[in-house]
Structure 1
Amino acid sequence: MARPRQFDEGTVLAAVRDQFWTAGYAATSLDDLLRVTGLGKGSLYAAFGDKRRLYLRVLGDYIEATHGALRALLADAPRAIDGLRRYLTAPAEDPSGAAARRGCFLVNSTSELAAADADVLAVSRGAFEERTGILAEAVARAQREGDFSTDADPWHAARTVVAAQQGIVFMGRTGVDVAELRATAETLADRVLSR
């Protein structure tokens, strides 16, 4: 009979995600994973499989969590346009700039691996399509509320919002001063989300 696990799976997966997020896939060794999880090699592999399977697992969990948070942000916004603006400017909201420099785990993963790994490419493409769909629903709501041009196609407008937000993420990763990043994000929001 198999022994019960002696660790908290959520804690282990969060530590693994943070290691990959900070160092990237290629620069993360098995020793790094064992160090951050406190698990032995046999326990890690038995619970989660190899490094690649573990990476895809934490990437999938990250996508699910961020999409859940995005849905909540948009649902809780008094008006859809407020939620869209908050999404677009979020990468520039941390006054220390640390979150901006860290970037988005999905974007980092896509940049590092999508050209060489068909599974990461498929996961990334699917995630961006899902995110665009979530935002398209918010655009349509903003149109109904009279805050967004009814001439705009919600799907195309949502893609523009994603592209603008990801540009802010990229700028943050390059170390742009947080005040400049915030000003750029606000300018983009004014342009992209105008009537």
Structure 2
Amino acid sequence: MARPRAFDEEQVLNAVREQFWNAGYAATSLEDLMRVSGLGKGSLYAAFGDKHQLFLRALHSYTDGVNGHLRKTLTETPRAMDALRMLLEMPIADADGAGPRRGCLMANSTCELGNADPDVLAHARRTYETSTALIGECVARAQREGDLPAEADPIALARALLAAQQGIVFMGRTGLDAAALTATARSLAAQLLPDPSGD
């Protein structure tokens, strides 16, 4: 009879995700994973597979959380236009914090591994398509509310907004301060989300 696992899988995934996020995939060793998880090699691999499988589990956990937060923000904000503007400013919150400017784990992983790892590339595409669909639904809601031109293509605008947001994430990694990032986000919002009344 198999013994029950004596550790919390979610806690382990959170710990290894932080390690991969801080150091990247290639620079994270098995010893690092054992240290942050508190598990031996046998327990770690028996539960999660090899380093690559563990990384994919951690990445999926991260993107599920990001898209869950995105869905909540876009659907629960009373006016869709406000939610779309918030989308552009989401990456700015930690810009002046004491922690490292780590950017987006999905974007970082795609840059590091996308050319060599088809699993990461396929997951990146699925993740960004999910994000695009969520943003597109919010764009369509803003159109119904009269805050965006009815003739705009919701998916095309959603992709532009997502690209703009990811650009702000990248600029934040370079050390640009929160005030400059906020000004950039608002400039992008003015161009991508014009007020149909012209005010």
**Bin for the TM-score computed over the shorter chain:** over 0.9
Whole-Å separation in 1 of the counterparts to 2:76 and 2:100? 24
- In the superposition, the TM-score normalised over structure 1's length comes to 0.96
Q: Which amino acid aligns with 1:63?
A: T
- 1:2 aligns to what SS in structure 2? coil
In the alignment, which residue of structure 1 is the partner of 2:38? 38
Report SS of the residue matched to 1:101. Answer: coil
CA deviation string 1:165-189 (max 9, x = no partner): 0000110111112221121112112
**Residues paired across the two proteins, number:** 195
Q: What is the one-letter code of the residue matched to 2:43?
A: S
Specify the SS of the correspondent of 1:68. Answer: helix
What SS class does the counterpart of residue 101 from structure 2 fall into? helix
Aligned to 2:106: 106
1:33-84 CA-to-partner distances (Å, cap 9, x unmatched) read: 0000000000000000000001111111111111111111111101011111
Residue matched to 2:165:
165
Partner of 2:115: 115
Q: Which residue of 2 aligns with 1:127?
A: 127
Following the alignment from structure 2 to structure 1, what is the Cα–Cα distance between the partners of residues 167 and 17? 23
1:23 maps to a residue whose letter is A
Q: TM-score, normalised by structure 2?
A: 0.94
The change in CA–CA distance for 1:136 and 1:172 in structure 2 (over 3 A counts) is: same
* Corresponding residue of 1:47: 47
C-alpha distance in structure 2 between counterparts of 1:36 and 1:73, whole Å:
31
Take 2:190 and 2:155, find their aligned partners in 1: how far apart are those partners? 19
Root mean square deviation of aligned Cα: 1.3
Q: Distance in 1 between matches of 2:83 and 2:97?
A: 21
Structure 2 residue 121 is matched with structure 1 residue 153: no
Paired with 1:110 and 1:99, the residues of 2 have a C-alpha distance of 22
Superposed, 1:138-149 pairs within 5 Å as 138-149=138-149
Larger helix fraction of residues:
1
In the alignment, the residues of structure 1 paired with residue 50 and residue 100 of structure 2 have an alpha-carbon distance, to the nearest angstrom, of 30
Moved over 3 A (4+): 97-100
Output one character per residue of 1:139-165: Cα deviation in whole Å (capped at 9) or x when no partner: 000000011111210000000000100
Secondary structure of 1:26's aligned partner: coil
Q: Give the CA deviation at 1:24.
A: 0.4
Q: One-letter code of the match for 1:173?
A: R
Task: Please state if 1:191 is matched with 2:191.
Answer: yes
For structure 2, which runs of at least 5 residues remain unmatched after alignment?
Answer: none
What CA deviation, in whole Å up to 9, does each residue of 1:4-52 have, x standing for no partner?
1111111100001000001000000000000000000000000000000
The percent of aligned pairs where both chains have the same amino acid is 60
Tell me if the contact between 2:96 and 2:177 (Cα under 8 Å) persists in the aligned partners. no
Deviates more, 1:119-128 or 1:175-184: 175-184
Task: Check the 8 A contact 2:34/2:41 in 1, yes or no.
Answer: yes
- Uncovered stretches (5+) of structure 1, i.e. residues with no partner: none
Q: Residues 95 and 101 of structure 2 are in contact (CA less than 8 Å); yes or no, is this contact kept in structure 1?
A: no
